[in-house]
Amino acid sequence: MEKVLVFVENGFEDRELMYPYYRFQEAGYKVNVVGPKAKVTYKGEYGLTIESEFSPNDVNIDDYAAIIIPGGRAPDRMRTNKGLVNLVKEASQKGKVIAAICHGPQLLIEAEVVKGKKATCYVSVSTDLKNAGGIYLDKSVVIDGNLVTSRFPADLPNFCRETLKLVEKSSGSI
């Protein structure tokens, strides 16, 4: 069974974590949750909680087809965690699918994987994206190579559909 990794930290946007979490399970993927620390309960902006299964040190990126990075305030916290940043760098180097929504691209910026890439994000992150060398597009979903990005919760259906398509194409699964 193919596996997908979902990043978590306090302040995640509840819908942007849970919608892909269940959508990928529905599509037949094993979904693992990684946070700065293993076996810690993290709280979303609207009160939803989820426990991390792993810390970055517990993860072998080769075991995963994709990384999903939800938005909210969490990515600003995630980008200060070297382990999470390094997982994104390694995933990018290995051509894994990396999907980030809303403020999620803050982690892509920190991992230095957006230079020359088309991407979208929440509007308040767009200047940071451009300053990091990314090409900002105000669209529901933007795909460039192994990166999938979206702007906000209303984009979740397109975000998940296009991420699933790319994962299936790149891994030849399902």
Q: Which residues are catalytic?
A: 102-103
Pairing verdict, β 141-144 and 147-150: antiparallel
Helix 156-171 to helix 14-26 angle, to the nearest 10 degrees? Answer: 40
| 171, 28 contact by CB (below 8 A) | no
Within 10 angstroms of residue 139's Cβ, the number of other Cβ atoms is: 15
Amino acid, res. 130: K
Q: How far is 127 from 18, CA to CA, in rounded Å?
A: 27
Q: From the CB of residue 153, how many other CB atoms can be counted at a distance below 10 Å?
A: 18
